[in-house]
Amino acid sequence: MDGFGTGEGWFVLAAITDAMRDRARNHRIGMLRRLVHRLGRIEPIGDDRFAMEAAIGAFDRVYGGQSLAEAFMAAAATVASMRRLNSAHCYFLRLGDPAQPVTYVVDRLRDTRSFSVRHVRAEQDGQAIITVTFAFAAPTEGIAHQTAMPDAPPPEDIVPRDVALIARHDGALPKNAGVPWPIDIRHVDQPPWEPRIGDGRHRVWMRVDEDLPDDPLLHACLFLYASDLCMADAVTNQHPIVWEDLIASRGLFGASLDHGFWLHVPARIDRWLLHVQESTVAADGRGYATGRFFDRAGTLVASVAQEIFIKEMGESG
């Protein structure tokens, strides 16, 4: 019998079959392969400008994590290969049109012995849709400490997100449900569609389904992509928001405003990572969420912060 751990018991999903699991996994792998292929096709067009064809995905808009990952690839193309991603600070300015190509414009802000800093602007039709500042760091040694990884049941005991959604909706998925995603996501705590009001704490296991090459650039890129997934859940589960209405924009509008990401140590996105999320405050329609990513050995590999804007349709803003 399958279920979600909700903190108060098990949410039973008796309708799940092995065939459903296999089909969902194959869809995730197919989308992952298309995404990796796409990321390798970013094209330099001169003067630190890069072109990318129209987007792929499961939404009616360009997924912000995809724009962030592509901007990272553009920035990395202007940095010495031995320098790894240290941090990214992104503002989502406009909803991107998935039917239109994107141009990424890189500004080389600074290079020192320890760091390289790049600013990237993603444009469609001459208008910026996101702007990101990336810092890359040279390998070094220095102070080190971390907080302990919290307890969590193993991901093998938890139903994949897409499988649970397919079972819940009998295959007729709501608009913008995010199926398929190229990432296997497993909610340790309540999934966002459960109506119970939560406490703003949320744990999620995630990884890609296939082994990837030993390419730190690719792993960092896909990690950035994944880091934007599910960030709203710790915010929305504290309010009587119907998830299906929010994602389909039925009476509600929601969008990420910004995104901060810090990669503390190199991590593999093809190994399970526990994303521990928390939302401590929301004000004026803006919910603030933070997250920490741990590998299965307990190493804190990355941290993330984001603000999400939610409003009733018809409000100004």
pLDDT higher than threshold 90 for residue 269: yes
CA dist 269 and 206 (Å) reads 8
Q: Which domains does the chain have, with CATH numbers?
A: 40-139 (3.10.129.10), 147-317 (2.40.160.210)
Catalytic residue among 190, 256, 277, 279: 256
Model pLDDT, residue 171:
65
Higher per-residue confidence, 152 vs 6: 152
Catalytic residue among 228, 233, 258, 295: 228
Model pLDDT, residue 193:
86
pLDDT higher than threshold 70 for residue 223: yes
Q: Which token pair is 1?
A: 């019998």
Mean pLDDT in residue range 128-153: 96
Model pLDDT, residue 181:
86
Q: How confident is the model at residue 59 (pLDDT cuts 50, 70, 90)?
A: low
Q: Which token pair is 113?
A: 């012995």
Mean pLDDT in residue range 245-259: 87
pLDDT higher than threshold 80 for residue 66: yes
CA dist 17 and 28 (Å) reads 17
Helix H, strand E, coil C: the string for the chain is CCEEECCCCEEECCCCCHHHHHHHHHHHHHHHHHHHHHHCCCEEEECCEEEECCCCCCCCCCCHHHHHHHHHHHHHCCCCCCCEEEEEEEEECCCCCCCCCEEEEEEEEEECCCEEEEEEEEEECCEEEEEEEEEEECCCCCCCCCCCCCCCCCHHHCCCHHHHHHHHCCCCCCCCCCCCCCCEEEECCCCCCCCCCCCCEEEEEEECCCCCCCCHHHHHHHHHHHHCCCCCHHHHCCCCCCHHHHHCCCCEEEEEEEEEEEECCCCCCCCCEEEEEEEEEEECCEEEEEEEEEECCCCEEEEEEEEEEEEECCCCC
Mean pLDDT in residue range 119-123: 98
Model pLDDT, residue 83:
96
Q: Which token pair is 74?
A: 């553009």
CA dist 268 and 272 (Å) reads 8
Higher per-residue confidence, 176 vs 1: 176
For the question of residue 228 being annotated catalytic, the response is yes
Mean pLDDT in residue range 10-19: 62
Model pLDDT, residue 314:
66
> What amino acid is encoded at 162 in this protein?
D
Q: How confident is the model at residue 247 (pLDDT cuts 50, 70, 90)?
A: confident
Question: Considering the chain, what percentage of its residues have pLDDT values greater than 70?
Answer: 90
Model pLDDT, residue 63:
86
For the question of residue 256 being annotated catalytic, the response is yes
